[in-house]
Amino acid sequence: MTKPASDGDRSAGRGARRIDWRVLALDDVSLTFNAGKANEYRALRNATLRIERGEFYCLLGPSGCGKSTILNLVAGFLRPDSGAIHLDDREILGPGTDRVVVFQDASNALMPWLRASENVEFGLSLQGLPKATSTKRAIQYLDLVGLADHARKFPYELSGGMKQRCQLARALVLEPQVLLMDEPFAALDAITKRIMQKELVRIWRQYRTTVVYITHDVEEALLLGQRIGIMKRGPGSSLKREIVLAEPYPRNITDRAIAAAYVEAEASLEEEVGATLHAH
C-alpha cells in the first residue's frame, strides 16, 4: 500500500512523492497534560520505541499507563513536550492519511446518517476521488471485511461486530502506511471478539500494513502481536520491556510457547499493578 506523504510530515510538501520508510520511531518522547495546573499529569517520560514496517506490534498495559497517549501521538492528534516521532526521516507533526485510527467505539466513530458504503467512501471523497471510483473501492473493502451484502445498511442496522468491520474497511480503504487500533474489540462479546481477531490477522497477512494495536488484554496481545511492548505504570510511563513472538498464525493460548509468554507478560503486568496499589 502506498500513499503520498502527509501534510503533517515535515519533509513532504504538497504533491511530494512518498518516501518509503522502514521504522516508526519514538525518541525520548515526554508529554504532560495540564502542565502548570493543579491537575497536572505527566503521561509519558522519555518513551522510546521502534516499530518495523509491516510489523504487527501490540502495546500492552493496565489503564492509565500511556498506551492510548502513544497512539494519539503517532496519529498526530497530540504533540510531545519533548522528543520526536518519525517515520524514518519524516517527523510526524500532525494527522495524515498515512496513519489511520480504528477506535474502540464503532457506534460513535461511524456517521449514523450515512450507509455503510458511504461511511467507507467518506475519506475518499475528501481526497477528491470521482464518485464511481470511490464507490467501487468502498465495495471492494467492504467485501474484504465480509460486509459487501450489507453496503446499503445504516449503522443502526448493523451488529457490534459488523460496525467494527465497517470502521476497519473505512480505515483500510485509505491504504494507510500505519493502522492504529485503540482496543477496537474491547466492547464485543467473546465469540465475536475472537472472530474479529482472526479476521484482522487474515487482512494484515494479506496487505502487511503496519499495525499498532493497543490492548490491556494479555491473551489478545499474544494471539495477535509479533512483538508486545509492555508499558510501565504511570505517571511518567515508558516502555518497560518487549516480548518477541515468532509463533505462526493462527495461534492458540494453550500452545506451549504462547502459554509461557502469557505467564511472562502477566507477571510483568502484575509488578506494575502491584506497585500502583502500594503507591496508594
pLDDT tens digit sequence for 106-144: 999 999 999 999 999 998 988 888 999 999 999 999 999
Asked whether the predicted pLDDT for residue 95 surpasses 50, the reply is: yes
> Contact 171/178 with Cβ under 8 angstroms?
no
Strand order, beta sheet including 82-87: 41-52, 23-33, 82-87, 90-91
Asked whether the predicted pLDDT for residue 39 surpasses 60, the reply is: yes
Share of the chain above pLDDT 90, in %: 82
pLDDT tens digit sequence for 254-264: 999 999 999 99
Q: Which amino acid is at 129?
A: L
Task: Kindly report whether the global pTM for this prediction surpasses the value 0.75.
Answer: yes
Torsion 79-85-90-96 (CA) sign: negative
User: What is the 8-class DSSP label of residue 52?
Assistant: E
Asked whether the predicted pLDDT for residue 253 surpasses 70, the reply is: yes
pLDDT recorded at residue 276: 63
User: What is the 8-class DSSP label of residue 150?
Assistant: G
Q: How sure is the predictor about 1, in pLDDT bands with cuts at 50, 70 and 90?
A: very low
Alpha-carbon span 133 to 121, nearest angstrom? 9
What is the set of domains in the chain, with CATH numbers?
A: 1-98+178-280 (3.40.50.300), 110-175 (no CATH)
